[in-house]
A = this chain, B = another copy of it.
């Protein structure tokens, strides 16, 4: 009988939390001394579980099953945001560890191969998704040469400092790794709002990050009549209203767009802003809808520049990220396991956040499972999930892992 050990699972999560614990939260930035300490502890726990563990040349912890493949790879990340929560990626990594242990303790599954990974720097302290990108063979040497953290430390120097300069990097083995599963906290309030305990991810949404810069004429705010102003800030505010109207008919219930930053230049009471800038992000599970939103924005900008006395220029702040669909067969195994462990308590949903799974999915069939975030909060010291949800999520993931591995061996 396949059974996870709830106490062992929670104890390991709490032990991992202790590395970088800050109040209720965790500060464990990629490759920092406390992060490396946590990685060494994790490798030890993997070895205890019978895996063959190592820290690779970029800092990812990889625990390889001693069983032959086909293998299911379970992973996520144990690095955190600058003021991070205790679960975030840590949950999925410890789930992998517990599932490897649980499968090894069950007669039917003891010969199944579960490899477990903690990918380095999902959060982008130096360069986002570094571990998973390295794993799938994306070129990361450019990042190692040039990426820096907030303190200006070069990634290459941080790796050398961590003693990893001459360590080999673990790479995807397509003859062995036939599927990838990433369990994660939801990081939103949808499951909680709908009274569900498990989310089966359909798609990781695509993202556009754009900067719009408005140019007008800086002027004295007392002596420049409204009628002759070319106020870049007022133009920006008016543009947002038009953009909202243009996006609404294109959106579905899961489409999101956010103006996260606005800056007026020079930014004082007495000066009509001569320039204004805003950070615009939008996300959707449909590549077609993202393109429709881009086209609507381009049309608005053309119209604006043709008719207003200020101008607007747009630039991409990040390369576009296209939506990534989770493997249908793996989704079905997750759904079957969820229905078996928690009948009626699960639903399918997109992931509004980015995950290592989107890097890996183009190379290996991939799936994701969510557990609820209390209050929808993440990337915050108060991020949390009910113990019962943590345990249930791991049970579902373990049974899904068994189903996936069983199907591979047929």
A contact set with B: CB distance below 8 Å? 186-190, 193, 205, 207, 209, 218-228, 231, 233-234, 237-238, 240-241, 251, 253-264, 267-273, 279, 281, 283, 317-318, 351-354, 376-380
Chain B contacts of A271 at CB under 8 A? 258, 260
A87 CB to nearest B CB, Å: 14
User: How far, in angstroms, from A273 to B218 measured CA to CA in the complex?
Assistant: 27
5 inter-chain pairs at a CB distance below 8 angstroms, sorted by A residue, are: A220-B379, A222-B283, A223-B353, A226-B257, A267-B279
Asked whether A225 lies within 8 Å of B209 as measured between CB atoms, the reply is: no
Asked whether B220 lies within 8 Å of A188 as measured between CB atoms, the reply is: yes
User: How far, in angstroms, from A273 to B261 measured CA to CA in the complex?
Assistant: 8
Asked whether A258 lies within 8 Å of B353 as measured between CB atoms, the reply is: no
Chain B contacts of A224 at CB under 8 A? 188-189, 256, 352, 376
Given known pairs A317-B269, A376-B223, the reply for A228 and B193 (CB within 8 Å) is: yes
Given known pairs A281-B221, A376-B223, the reply for A261 and B255 (CB within 8 Å) is: no
- In the complex, the 9 A-B pairs of residues with the closest C-beta atoms, listed nearest first: A188-B223, A222-B352, A223-B352, A221-B258, A261-B267, A269-B281, A262-B262, A222-B353, A187-B223
Asked whether A258 lies within 8 Å of B231 as measured between CB atoms, the reply is: yes
Which one of A251, A256, A263, A379 has the greatest number of beta carbons of chain B within 10 Å? A256
* Extra A-B contacts (12), CB below 8 Å, given A193-B228, A262-B263, A269-B281: A187-B223, A219-B376, A221-B260, A222-B351, A223-B378, A224-B256, A226-B257, A234-B240, A238-B241, A260-B270, A261-B268, A269-B318
Chain B contacts of A205 at CB under 8 A? 222
| Nearest chain B residue, comparing its CB with the CB of A241 | B241
Asked whether B241 lies within 8 Å of A222 as measured between CB atoms, the reply is: no
Chain B contacts of A238 at CB under 8 A? 241
User: How far, in angstroms, from A282 to B258 measured CA to CA in the complex?
Assistant: 29
Chain B contacts of A273 at CB under 8 A? 259-260
Chain B contacts of A378 at CB under 8 A? 220, 223
Asked whether A270 lies within 8 Å of B259 as measured between CB atoms, the reply is: no
Given known pairs A222-B353, A279-B269, A281-B221, the reply for A227 and B253 (CB within 8 Å) is: yes
Asked whether A241 lies within 8 Å of B237 as measured between CB atoms, the reply is: yes
User: How far, in angstroms, from A193 to B229 measured CA to CA in the complex?
Assistant: 13
